[in-house]
Amino acid sequence: MSPAPDALSPSHADWGILAVFAVVYVGMFLGGLPKLRLDRTGVAVLGAIAVLPLTGWGVREAAQAVDGPTLVLLFSFMVLAAQMQLGGFFGEVARRVGALPGSGPSLLAALLAVSAALSAVFTNDVVCLAVTPVVVALCRQRGLPPLPFLVGLACAANIGSAATLIGNPQNMLIGSVLALDFGGYLAIAIGPVLLSLVCLWVWLVHGTGRAGWAERAPAATVTDASPPFDAWQSAKGLAVALALLVVFLATDLPRELAALVGAGLLLLSRRLHSSEVMGRVDGALLLLFIGLFVVNHAFQSTGLAAQAVTWAGTQGLHLHEPGTLTVVSVVLSNVVSNVPAVMLLLPHLGTDPQQAGVLLALVSTLAGNVLLVGSIANLIVVDLAAKQGVAIDWRQHLRLAGPAALSSLAITWGWLAMAR
């Protein structure tokens, strides 16, 4: 009589799910799959499709793997950001910063502060998308070196976005899944965020990154394609953003519902067609979230992830320990980028997920400044700058941003250690 199979042994379907999971995360690392015209979103969506027959799920079961509140919150803030973009708000703010009197270092300080503040509310990717062309124009008009300003813009946007639970997609996910308190998180995060901004400015101006100040922007015609400033549309967006911040800080209303109501109010317009606003919603990012939710949930259902975490624990590596979580977050965020890294780590934060969630939100975001590929915001700045004739490669980014990024992580570690 043959022995009964081990209940803990993975089935053929489990191994198939593991293979799909591995391919998806290779795609996250590479930005696509070799010889196929697929980006990260395409890989995630195909991965979600592939696990359905392996799990035996139907569409209804797959939908249950998706965290609806996170998607609603992300969509709603995309609508808010689209309102501000179409109102020309971001470009106008950047132009006013560029018109300030003063030297390059003082203008850089103003740019870092404004970029961080805007990113804390309107998300880092949107701010970089709207402000980068204006910064290139500013550097050309005033004879300033573009590298410190552009790398500083990307880094400050990432740092500022870490200050709130709405500043970037991974923080929205963490805040939604772990039900973190908005004001409580802000109170903890604001200290290391402000210190990190100061550290970034000091490094860009006085550190070894100062060599970048000798490189002037090449002469070329810069086309500012940002929409003209519309005071009324910008005021509408700012009013909704302010109202949402008050709701998040002063009430216990679900953030995703409040944000959805705000997005609905903005769509009620006599001047901006809803198709214009909805056309700026990043549907690819929403699909990336959906695909990764399904793939990750399928992987969790195999039990292989839990076994791997248990095995790591026997080797002295516990994800609930701040040191281990910090190192793993930094590495994963620079290998597969922030959002996939957070999705992988969220189910394994131990018995105190609230404290670990704050650490994960800060570290996964700040780690995106270490390498060029660590954050979508970095890539947005590089791509837009290249279209304006300013090239930034990974070595330049690492030289200018790397030391400041590592310092910000050390600051955060020390800050949270004192708070514990």
The pTM of this model reads: 0.86
pLDDT tens-place string over residues 75-103: 999 999 889 888 889 888 988 888 888 77
Of 108, 335, 127, residue with least CA distance to 205:
108
218 pLDDT higher than 60: no
List, for residues 149-182, the tens digit of each pLDDT value. 999 999 999 999 999 999 999 999 999 999 999 9
For the chain, what percent of residues have pLDDT higher than 90? 44
pLDDT of residue 103: 79
Per-residue model confidence (pLDDT) at position 31: 83
pLDDT computed for residue 4 by the predictor? 44
From 109-123, 220-234, 297-311, 385-399, the region with the lowest mean pLDDT: 220-234
- What does residue 145 show for φ and ψ, rounded to 5 degrees? -70, 130
**Region class of 31: left (phi > 0), else alpha (psi between -120 and 50), else beta:** left
Mean pLDDT of 177-197: 94
Residue 153 near residue 131, CB atoms below 8 Å: yes
Spell 397-414 as b/e; 16+ CB within 10 A means b: bbbbbbbbbbbbbebbbe
pLDDT at position 284 is 87
Mean pLDDT score of the chain, rounded to an integer?
87
Instruction: Tell me the CA end-to-end span of the chain in Å, nearest whole number.
Output: 57
| AA identity, residue 294 | V
Exposed, middle or buried: residue 287 (CB in 10 Å: 0-12, 13-18, 19+)? middle
Q: What's residue 8's pLDDT?
A: 55
Q: Distance between CA 116 and CA 17 in Å, rounded?
A: 40
* pLDDT score at 245: 94
Average pLDDT over residues 270-293: 87
- Check if the beta carbon of residue 226 is closer than 8 Å to that of residue 90: yes
d(CA 362, CA 341): 13
CB of 360 closer than 8 Å to CB of 369: no
Q: What is the pLDDT of residue 227?
A: 78
Look at residue 369 and tell me whether its pLDDT is greater than 90: yes
Report which of residues 32 and 194 the model is more confident about.
194
CA 395 from centre of chain: 22
Predicted local confidence at residue 1, as pLDDT: 40
